[in-house]
Amino acid sequence: MTLPLTPLTLGEARRRTVLLAFRQALLEQRSFWRSAEYALFTFALPLALLLLIGSTTAAGDLPGTHVEGQMIFVPSIIAFGVIVAAYVNLGAKLATLRHDGVLKRIRTTPLPAAAYLSGVLGSTAATTLAITACIMTLGALAFGAVPRTSGLPEIAGGLLLGVACFGALGLALASVAGSAESASPIANASYLPLAIMSGIFDPTFPVPHWLSAAVGLFPVRALAQILQQGYTPVEHAPVTDLFVLLAWTAGAGAFAAWRFRWH
């Protein structure tokens, strides 16, 4: 016979939430790698773009500078990998889980929402880290693009903030998407044009001044620029990028907290 449950103290409840989030992240990771196709193509997209574009348009110095194109392009693709894993895939995955009733099933248990979502985000962070490691390795081997030693904090900070920001946007995306089918089109339509305008695939992509200023308000170029700092010092204001990312993280997080639905 079960004993009556005593309410947990705040500290106990927090420790339990962290432990449960960790277990959830482990299960999510194991499940991710078991779905070989899904895992393969999550990695294949940024790596294929890295090799295809990197060996053609991004080769040589950027026009009018002594900055090698690869040193801008490789971190841009890292940003792209973060966006795909944390925003597109996470958003579509949560929309699908909701459609399939998995999220409702989770809500039938006493698992705190924070523990579940942290676990899913933690797993997304691990996937993002693995993709980043592959892009950095391939970038170094294929194009000799190696980050500055003093730029590692920018890369680590950029990744952390990038996962937080685009993970929050992924949650917001899942909140907006009315169905599992609509999540991917919404994701692609929202980030791809921005990625092109932000020069992710071609650092020399010409955009009018006003459009460049507008694109600067979005988190895609902000993340790319912070990561580019890790490879080569470039002329821009990283503090502005930092604020852009933080603002989008807070905004998307608040929106998700308001609108996220479990069923």
Q: Which is nearer to other proteins, 13 or 133 (CB)?
A: 13
Provide, rounded to whole angstroms, the least separation between the CB of residue 115 and other proteins: 9
Q: How many residues does the chain have?
A: 263
Q: Which is nearer to other proteins, 31 or 150 (CB)?
A: 31
Measure the CA–CA gap between 60 and 115, rounded to whole angstroms: 47
Provide, rounded to whole angstroms, the least separation between the CB of residue 252 and other proteins: 24
Q: Which is nearer to other proteins, 255 or 262 (CB)?
A: 262
Provide, rounded to whole angstroms, the least separation between the CB of residue 5 and other proteins: 6
Give the SS3 label for residue 91: helix
Q: Which residues bind other proteins (CB under 8 A)?
A: 2-3, 5, 7, 20, 23-24, 27, 30-32, 34-35, 97, 100-102, 104-105, 107-112, 263
Provide, rounded to whole angstroms, the least separation between the CB of residue 27 and other proteins: 5
Cα–Cα nearest to 118, from 16, 30, 39, 32 = 16
101 sits in the region (left: phi over 0; alpha: psi -120 to 50; else beta) called left
Provide, rounded to whole angstroms, the least separation between the CB of residue 203 and other proteins: 38
Look up residue 104 and give its amino acid.
K
Q: Which is nearer to other proteins, 107 or 259 (CB)?
A: 107
Residue 72's Cβ-count burial label (10 Å; 0-12, 13-18, 19+) is buried
Provide, rounded to whole angstroms, the least separation between the CB of residue 77 and other proteins: 27
Q: Which is nearer to other proteins, 20 or 85 (CB)?
A: 20
Cα–Cα nearest to 219, from 47, 91, 86 = 86
Provide, rounded to whole angstroms, the least separation between the CB of residue 177 and other proteins: 17
Measure the CA–CA gap between 105 and 179, rounded to whole angstroms: 18
Q: Which is nearer to other proteins, 90 or 97 (CB)?
A: 97
Give the SS3 label for residue 68: strand
Residue 230 and residue 158 in contact, taking contact as beta carbons nearer than 8 Å: yes
Q: Is the dihedral of CA 196, 199, 204, 209 positive or negative?
A: positive
Measure the CA–CA gap between 173 and 220, rounded to whole angstroms: 15
- Indicate the DSSP class of residue 5: P
Q: Which is nearer to other proteins, 41 or 205 (CB)?
A: 41
